[in-house]
Structure 1
Amino acid sequence: MNSKNIEAKKTTVKLVYTSMLIAISLVGSLIKIQGSIALDSMAGFFSALFLGPVYGLLTASIGHILTAVTSGFPLTLPIHIIVTVQMGLFAYIFGVAYRKSNGIIASIIAIILNGVVSVLMLVPVTIWLKLPLNGWPFFYTMVGPLSLSSGVNVILAYAVYKIIGNKF
């Protein structure tokens, strides 16, 4: 086999793994912590380590949309679109941070981004959309459960990755 065929095969295998991880994300989306906060992003964070940051971005983004759909978009469609972008970006950053530092630093960064920064970014949007729960009350209501689920998702992803190891 030449190098072009090997790379094509690797890409195909990564896409198959990504599809399986998206399916796992759907299962995680059914395990709710609060509203649309669920165990869906573990597969995305794992994918960012196992397959690479871009695949983590894809898996985490689709995973969040699946959670929003199974929850009935409780925070409105615009908020869930923003969260979809955030989830993809945070999984990507997690994968890059892991490659440039280590798992503990990358995990701390991901938990802070997904648990605190994401909600801070949504505070002005909730005010602008005039959601019943908006502004700082929204932040205080969401930051605890979201930080908890972020910690669970990121730590599980990192633990599973350390057990399985790097295949790519």
Structure 2
Amino acid sequence: MQKQAREIHNIKTITQIGLLIALSIIGATIKIQGSIAFDSMAAFFAALYINPLAGGVVGILGHLISSATAGFPLTLPMHILIGIQMFAFVYIFGWLYEKTPGGIPVVVATLLNGPMAALTVVPMSLMLGLPFSGWPLFMVIWLPLTIASFANILLAVILYRSISRGR
């Protein structure tokens, strides 16, 4: 991780991260259901193209900026939790892909960013007293979130492999 942190401190990488955060915000406008959108594709791509740490940074900042533009529909504390999850899930995906490229990282990241993410918002939504919270919230978001996660991750892998062939 320390090597990855050093790699982020050059102007080319910082520019790439900035552009991918902007792409994440653009992806946030392509909705699947409610606030579920194509904002994480750029983060998963960054985890592959730059490194897992950069992907995590794009994941958390992209999510927080895109949710801010929507007015934090699930409240700021909930979106901070989701942003932290995005950082962790994207980092894990990038790390796994470095170790075992192929289908396993895609499946793991889809399960983490889909049903696992939906499951973790259950207690937080209840603590925050959201009007639509708990298990009803889980039941409504887990399937579209899983589908969107898979689509975001698969697009990132396809884009990465296409660009990698040209390197």
What 5-or-longer segments of structure 1 have no aligned partner? 1-6
1:100-111 pair list within 5 angstroms: 100-111=99-110
Does residue 148 (structure 1) correspond to residue 152 (structure 2)? The answer is no
Could you list the structure 1 runs, at least 4 aligned residues long, displaced by more than 4 angstroms after superposition.
7-10
Q: Distance in 2 between matches of 1:83 and 1:89?
A: 10
User: Structure 1 stretch 153-162 or stretch 33-42: which is displaced more?
Assistant: 33-42
For each residue in 1:87-139, what CA deviation from the matched residue of structure 2 results, as whole angstroms up to 9, or x when unmatched? 11111000000011123111111100000111111111111111111111111
Q: 8 Å contact 2:106–2:153 — kept in the other structure?
A: yes
- How many residue pairs are counted as aligned between the two chains? 162
Q: Which position in structure 2 is the counterpart of 1:63? A: 62
Alignment partners' CA distance in 2, 1:129 and 1:118: 17
Greater CA radius of gyration, 1 or 2? 1
Tell me, yes or no, if the aligned pair for 1:47 and 1:53 is still in contact at 8 Å: yes
Q: Match of 1:25, as an amino acid?
A: S
Partner-residue secondary structure (3-state), 1:33 = strand
TM-score by length of 2: 0.91
Looking at structure 2, the residues matched to 28 and 93 of structure 1 have their Cα atoms a distance apart, in angstroms, of 21
Provide the aligned C-alpha RMSD in A. Answer: 2.0
Aligned to 1:112: 111
Q: CA deviation at 1:70?
A: 2.1
- After superposition, what is the alpha-carbon deviation per residue over 1:10-43, rounded to whole angstroms, capped at 9, x for unaligned? 8321111111111111110111222221110000
User: How many Å separate the matches in 2 of 1:111 and 1:37?
Assistant: 14
- Cα distance in 2 for partners of 1:9, 1:45 equals 16
Give the partner amino acid of 2:48: L
| Paired residues for 1:32-51 under 5 Å | 32-51=31-50
Q: Distance in 2 between matches of 1:24 and 1:11?
A: 20
1:9 deviates by 10
The TM-score, its normalising length taken from structure 1, stands at 0.90
Partner of 2:78 in structure 1? 79
Give the corresponding residue for 1:28.
Answer: 27
Partner of 1:124: 123
Q: 1:163 to 1:8 in 2, by over 3 A?
A: closer
Percent pairwise identity: 42
Conserved? CA contact 1:36–1:73, under 8 Å? no
Residue 73 and residue 8 in structure 1: after superposition, are their counterparts in 2 closer, same or farther (change >3 A)?
A: closer
Q: Give how far 1:8 is off.
A: 7.6
Unaligned runs of 5+ in 2: 1-5
